[in-house]
Amino acid sequence: MTEQELARWLRSPLGRYVVDWESTQIDSEVADIFGFNAVQIGLPQQDFLRANRIAMRARIGLGETTHPAAPVAAQCQPEALPFAGQSIDLVVLPHVLEFSADPHQVLREVERVLIAEGQIVICGFNPLSLWGLRKQARRRESFPWRGRYLALPRLKDWLSLLGFEIESCQFGCYAPPFEQQKWLQRWQFTEQAGRRWWKFSGAVYMLRAVKRVPGMRLITPCWQKKTLRNKALQPVVRKTPKEIHGQ
């Protein structure tokens, strides 16, 4: 994938269709994630951290061909992130895994840089969809069809092996991959029908997972005050003088 292909696709009706759905979903997922450092790796032309309230937010470009208009903090390969271990609270990966030569290594790097209880948000194309069928039929096209789409069950297995726990997962973009805006609008009825009847066949999925560390538990403040129950009064048995002297 080159930045020129990516920029051209993002300007297309199909690209806007996907990015608009992903932006809405990611906004709701990252809004309540707190910490000190948040990183978006890939698609630097889009700000998927805009709804997050972490002070230090950065967008990372892939390789050395990032578009100059994209506000990137650094450029790197996703298989070797330039961050210290356990230094990041939130990582967003929009369509990085399916275009990486070693997607499992990318996840290992993310696990390395995330703090305990850090979170990862992943967006990917679903091979079990109409878009996946088109990709199988025409593999040599440009972005986004030349990628290696990862099925969601496989991705969940990889995350589980790395110690992640799935928190949420959403599917979207049920319309066929039409290139023209008018056809995408005519097929908008498939969004509601897809979410209800064939939920797992959306063209795109969004997944959020938390890095769990065995034997570690976050201690949260206890805001509820427990009222102490009054002890029941016990009757006092008074002895008579005769009982005291054993008479």
Domain positions in the chain = 3-244
Residue corresponding to tokens 């789409």: 149
Cβ–Cβ < 8 Å for 9, 141: no
**Which residue type occupies 191?**
E
Q: What gap in Å lies between CA 57 and CA 10, rounded to an integer?
A: 22
pLDDT in tens, the chain (247 residues): 555 677 678 788 988 999 999 999 999 999 999 999 999 998 888 899 999 999 999 999 886 555 555 678 888 889 999 999 999 999 999 999 998 989 999 999 999 999 999 999 999 999 988 888 887 776 566 778 888 899 999 999 999 999 999 999 999 998 888 887 887 887 777 777 667 777 788 889 999 999 998 765 555 556 555 555 655 556 655 666 655 555 5
CA distance 87 to 163: 17
Please provide the CATH number assigned to the domain covering 3-244.
3.40.50.150
Residue 63 · residue 83 · CB < 8 Å: no
Report the alpha-carbon distance of residue 127 to residue 98 in Å, rounded: 10
In angstroms, how far is the first alpha carbon of the chain from the final one?
A: 105
